[in-house]
Structure formats: structure tokens, C-alpha cells
Amino acid sequence: MALPLYYNWRNLLRRRLSATLTFFLVGVVVFVLTALLSFAAGIRASLSATGSARNVIILKPGSTAESTSILLPAEAARIVQAPNIARGSTGQLLISPELCVQTNIPRRGPVGTPASVAIRGVDDITYELHSELKIMEGRHARQGMMEIIVGKAARERYANLELGGRLEMGRLANRVFTVVGVFEAGGGAMESEIWAPRTMLEDAFNRRFLSSVVVRLEDLARAQTTIDYLNGPAVELDAQLETRYYEELSTKTREIVFLTTVLIGIMAIGAIFAVANTMYAAVDGRKREIAMLRTIGFARSSIMLSFVIESLLISTSACAAGLGASLFLNGSRKDFLSDTTWTVLAYELRITPGILLSAFGLATLVGVSGALAPALKASRMRVIEALRKA
Amino acid sequence: MLRFIYLYRNLTRNSLRTLMTCAAVALPIIVYVLSTAVIDGLSQFLDNSAKQLRLVTMHKTSFINPLPVGYRAKIESLDPTKKRITSVCGMRWIGGKIEDFPMPLSTLAVDMDTFSATFPDENLSEDEIAAWNRDRRALVVGPATARQLGWKVGDRVTINPSVLPYNPIEFNVISTAPLAKDVVTNFFRMDYLEEELKKVTGPEGWTLDGWVSFFFVKCATHADMDYYRVAIDEVFARSPDETKTQDEKSFMTEFITQFFDLPTNLTILAAVTIFVAVMAAANTMSMNIRDRLNEIATLKSLGFGPSTVFVLIQFESLTLCTIGGFIGAALPYISFNHTPLRNFTVPLIQTLDVRMIVCLESLVIAAAIGVLAAAWPAWTGIRLKVVSALRNLE
């Protein structure tokens, strides 16, 4: 027979101060956990939504990212020979030469610290390879014009990128590009970028080379053949699946998750001790009551369970409160400078179901393991002695 | 003396609770020490930048645009006496990767002749400077990087640059700069890089050598810095490559805040851990006092005044939290200074230097937590009505 929840609730009310303190403590730990994990989840969501498994990205061997890669036109020309490249609507091979540069744009807000935003120079064919890109407002940038389209995330985060806005770019910062469109790319990293006609960018930045070439595969099953050919002696470049390239960029998030685990682990153990402390006090203060319960027929197990439930009552309600507070973070935009690409990635903090689950898991763990020892003590109490002492 | 015995007895009579409270305070303090150690490391780095009286000149539009090496002579000619601008050092970033080592390195080619004068904070000895001048392949490795990779003076090492020339470059380690303030960055000679660049073909219409990423300009006084920060940019205004000059501290701050805004976020984390510790300690103290209300009433009825009760409660809490704080501060101090964890690298900032001062500071904070946590219980103790307390309790 179990003790009613009402009993636990009344008990908590009797120790109001102690219960409140424990509540806040667990709540704060849960809040920190969700906040830290939401950073990682936001970045990962953005990067994993980027790139297609049907695309192969080709860089200069030795370079670590598009922004540090320099492909000479002669080197890029060799890519045409590769087998298994798909053809587009007009019959030409789907090979997209791209040029990545950066320019400093102030962030929105009162301080307006500059951020190094990625600018991608593209040809018309690029849109066939990056088909996830959709124009939300305005239109595509036309070749040969000083026009740019900006990603949704970039527009929200950086100043003056509204439709019709003007951006000075280039080596001399004297080429004025006009924003003619805003695009979305399935929440991917490209939404933090600005796209421009490649030839115009080459001219403005005085760069007669490419950063990367993206090709679309005809037959997915033979992807490795294409990659091996491109890496081999005939082309001698560094090719990999686009999805893998972005996956590798998100390794930084693994470091955040690792750090979070360590920090939260330490704090959670502290929280367990605090909960255990509270529960021991609850047991000690109720010796007579427990003995009475035993006398009137409640089993050891139901007394033990009752204490665990009491502790869970605090920790899970604290968890709910902590999560509630952290939901305010959900969707807020942040950005960070990657030390691989040297460009900023704007991302949204995301509270995913996985994070909710791990928060509740943590709260349950803290609640149960904090209550276990005191509950055991309560259930093992010698009834006669406890009653006699009273 | 009697009071100390009383205090000691109180702490040991429920040793489990005492132990758990110490742990509940110690663990958040560990997190606090670690996060403040990171902030401290960054601010020490920035303080050094501010002290060095250096300006950084970079391309106006973005750090990806290089500046011509010839700008150095123009900057130097602003002060032919060399009394106000003492030296100018060009720098070119090559990043760097090591085979089977996941983290990217920070490696810079620097002007060989002015490096040691511009960066006295590298603290190179005279022998090392001689080796630097003698050996074309000289490499000064940041002390933390050297420790991570196990590099020692005299080693021959290979770094794969992340940018042109892309081909692996061989170096001789001439110093691991044990006293350097910048613990991760490696420096080598610009003339060696230019030589390596000659081996590869670059894009049409582009010369590969003859460009630098930044110029570091060492000034004599703060007034000179303020003057030349404007003067340098004026020289290059309306030229093909306009410049942006700022003091080294603002330059570095701009970079650091872009990496997850570490200082702000860690400060929040540190504050939160303190909050957690206060909660834990206050909880225990309030339980301690609740359990002992009749004892306190007895003390009072024996004639001990409220001030004695107050001091006893406060002191108990103070002792508990200070012990917890001591454990929480000593653990990271010992493990990050005297165990293999010393080589532990923090992702994002790469080194974790837990200094004594940070630990002492957190000990003070732990004591403050103790005082704060006991405030309410002590107040209850003072207000306690002897008669009703004795009547209510067994």
C-alpha cells in the first residue's frame, strides 16, 4: 500500500525554507544544463542542415576550410574529367565554381561590433546544386550586376542588410552592392552568408581564383569513385562529400557538449548532496511519524518509496521551473566566429526534445539518488526504539 | 576555548551532514574556480596586450585582405628618430595543422629583424635571439603548444600551413618561450616563408610573397600610441589598401568576444555556481538550527546573550563553507598545476592556468557564502523566545 501524495505535499510545506532552497538549487542546475546544451544544439542543427549528400566539395589539399583554400583556374579545370558528374536542366555538367571572401559588417544593436561575414561568389549554375536555397523576398542577383542576396540569419543579425540596403565591399571598400533578395536555406549555415555574382566579387576583391568547387553526383552509389578520382593523381585535389565537410565543421560543438557534461556533472553531484541533506533532515525530524506509520501497517518499501517520491516532487517541479525559464532562450540568435573558417555562423539557440529529456533525466537522477540513502535509513528504522524515545 | 569545543562538537555530531555540506559547497566552487581561471587567463592576456604599447595595423575592410610589406617602411618613416615608434613588425598568418593532432595551431611568420624588439613579452634570452638570427628555419613555439605536442628545443618539426604554400614546412625549434604571455602562438621567420612561397605557383596577377596580415607597431608612450593610431591610417587613406589601426587590446578583444563571448558567458556561469553554493549551505544551516532550537533556548536560558548565539551560528557556517571552499579551490589548483591534467587543453582557449590568486579569491567567496548562508538561521536564533522554544520541543 502506498502513502498518498498528499502526505508528501504536506510534508514539503512543513519544511518550506528547506524545500524552497532545494527547489531553487535543482532548478538552477537544470537551467544551466539546458542553456549550455542549447548552444551546441543550435550550432549542430544549423551545420547539419547544410550541404547535400549528393554534392562533393573540392578544396585545395592542405587547406582546412573554404576560406583558406585557393584553387587556381587551371587546377579547377581538371575537375571536368571526373566520372559520375550529373548534368543539369540544360545539359551542362553540374560543376559550381565558388569564391569565398569575407567582409566586416557591424552587428545590429547599440554596440555594433564588427563580424566577419562570409560572402560567396556564385554562378547561375550554383543554384541548381544548392537547391535548398529559396528566395523569400525580392529576387536572385543577376550576373554582371553589383547585386547581392543575403541569408535570413545574416539579415537578422547584422546591420543594414534589408532589401534595398547597400553594402560596400572589396579591397578598397568602394564597390557598392545592393541587396536585391533574401533567401532561406533550410536553416543551414548558408543562411549566415551573403551571395553575389562570382565575377563581380572576383573583380571587387581582386582575386583571380576559386575557393572551392562543388559538383553534383549522378549516381550516389558511385560517390567514392568520383572522390577517389578527384583525390588521385589525375586531379590532385581534396574532395569530400559536402555533408561530411559540414559535419567536420561542427566538431566544435562536441567540445561544448563535453565541457557541459563535466561542469554539469560536478554541479549535479553537488545538488545530489544538497538533496540528500534535506531528505536526511526530513527523516530525522519524522522518526516518530515513520515508526507510527510502520505500526499501523505500512510496509518498509512504501515508506522508502514515499521519501523518494517526496524528493522527486521537489526535483521534477524544480526541473519544470528551470526548463520554463530556459524556454525564453529558445530561438534567440547568437553568432560565433569559427577558428576553422574565420567566418561567423549565426545560429538559433534550440531547446530540442533531447535536451528536455536529458534535463528531466538529470533532475530524476538528482532526486532519486539524493533520497535513496535517507529513505533506506527511514525504512530500516527500529520501530519500538523510535516510539519509546518519543 | 570552550566555544571552540562546542563548535567542534556541533560540526562532528552529524558528520555525514557536515561532509555532505562541505561537498555541496566544494563542487560548485570547483566550477567557479575553473570558470574564473579561464576569465582570468583571458584578462591577463589582454592586460599584457595593453601594457605592451603596441598598435595593430590591418586592412580596413577585413583581416583576410593582406597589406603590402612595403607599408612597413612607410610606417617607420613617420618617425625617423625611432624614439616614438620603436619598432614595426609585419606578420603573416599561416594557421597550421599537425598530422594526427586535431587542433589547429596558431602560427605566424614575422619580420626576422624586429621580432624580438617588438615582442619583448616573448622573453627570449640572448642565446635564443642569436639562434633566431642565425637559423633561417627558427621556430619559437608557444609554451602550451610545446607542452601539448611534446616539442623541445632542438627538435626538427613539420607544420602543414592552412594557407599558401600548403606544402609542409620544416622548422627547428629554437625556443619554447617559457615566459611568454601568449602561450599558444608559434612564430617563425618571414624570409623563410617567402622562400617557401617561391616554390609554388600562385594565381595569375598575384604575387604570393610581399604581403602581410598585420603590422605590429611598438610605441614609446601612450601619447605616441594615440597619435600614431590616427596618423598611420591617414598615411594610407585613399591608397589601394587602406588600413585600420587600433591598439592591441581592442584588436584582441574583438577576436576573443567573437568566440562564444566567453568572458560574458563564463561570468554568468560563475555567478550561478555561487548561487547554487549559497542555496546548499543555507539549506544545511537552517536544518542545523531547526534541529537544535531547544539547545539554543537552553544556551539562552543559561545566560548566553544573543550575540554569542549569533557568533556561534555564524562561525559554524563559516567553518563549514571555508572547508568546502578550501577543498573546492585546492582540488583544481593541485590537479591543474601538479598532475598530468596540467597538459589538459580547454577547447576554444587551449590552456587553463589555475593561479593561486584565483583560488584564494574563491576561498574568500566561500567564506562569504558561509556568512550569507547563516544570516537567516542566525537571525532565527537571536529572535528565539526561550520559553516557547523550550515548551514546544521535547
Q: What percent of chain B has pLDDT over 70?
A: 95
Q: Give pLDDT tens digits for B160-169.
A: 888 888 888 9
Sequence-distant (≥ 6) Cβ neighbours of residue B87 within 8 angstroms = B114, B117, B118, B217, B218
**Taking CB atoms and an 8 Å cutoff, what residues of chain A touch B201?**
72
Provide the pLDDT confidence category of residue B14 given band limits of 50, 70 and 90. Answer: confident
Tell if the CB–CB gap between A270 and B376 is shorter than 8 Å: no
C-alpha cell of residue B328: 573546492
Q: What is the pLDDT at residue A194?
A: 93
Rg of the Cα atoms in chain B: 29
Its ipTM equals 0.79
d(CA B89, CA B114): 6
DSSP-assigned letters across all residues of A184-226 = E-TT-GGGG-EEEEHHHHHHHHT--SBSEEEEEBS-GGGHHHH
Q: From the list A28, A172, A277, which residue is nearest B284 (CB)?
A: A277
Q: Which of B294, B296, B271, B252 is nearest to B369 (CA)?
A: B271
Whether the per-residue pLDDT at A302 is higher than 80: the answer is yes
Start-end of H helices in B292-343: 293-301, 306-338
- What is the tens place of the pLDDT at every residue in A69-84? 888 888 888 898 888 8
Contact B24 A270 (CB under 8 A): yes
Average pLDDT over residues B241-263: 82
CB contact at 8 A, A149 and A135: yes
A100/A70 Cα distance (integer angstroms): 10
Say what the pLDDT of residue A41 is. 84
Mean per-residue pLDDT, A144-148 = 91
CB–CB contact A267 B280 (8 Å): no
Q: Which pTM does this prediction carry?
A: 0.82
A43: nearest CA partner in chain B: B260
Give Cα A234 to chain centroid, integer Å.
39
User: Which residues from chain B sit within 8 angstroms of residue A288, using beta carbons?
Assistant: none
Cβ burial of B75 (10 Å; 0-12, 13-18, 19+) is: buried
B61, B160, B269: residue with CB nearest A171: B61
CA distance A302 to A2: 5
Element (H, E) at A117: strand A114-122
Closest residue by Cα to residue A282 from A383, A377, A196: A377
Phi, psi at B175, each rounded to 5°? -160, 145
What average pLDDT does the segment B88-102 reach? 86
Q: Is A270–B280 a contact, with Cβ atoms under 8 angstroms apart?
A: yes
Q: Does residue A375 register a pLDDT over 50?
A: yes
> How distant is the Cα of A153 from the closest Cα of chain B, in angstroms?
16
Query: Do B64 and A101 count as a contact with CB atoms less than 8 A apart?
Result: yes
Question: A159-192 burial, b if ≥16 CB within 10 A, otherwise e?
Answer: bebebeeebebbbbbebebebbbbbbbebbbbbb
Cβ pair B64:A266 closer than 8 A: no
Q: What share of chain B is helix, strand, coil (3-state, %, to 5)?
A: 55, 15, 30
Identify the residue whose cell numbers are 550586376: A145
| B25-68 pLDDT tens trace | 888 888 888 888 888 888 888 888 888 889 999 988 777 788 88
> Would you say residue A195 has pLDDT above 90?
yes
Distance between A127 CA and the closest CA of chain B, angstroms? 26
Looking at the complex, report in whole angstroms how far the Cα of residue B260 sits from the nearest Cα belonging to chain A. 5
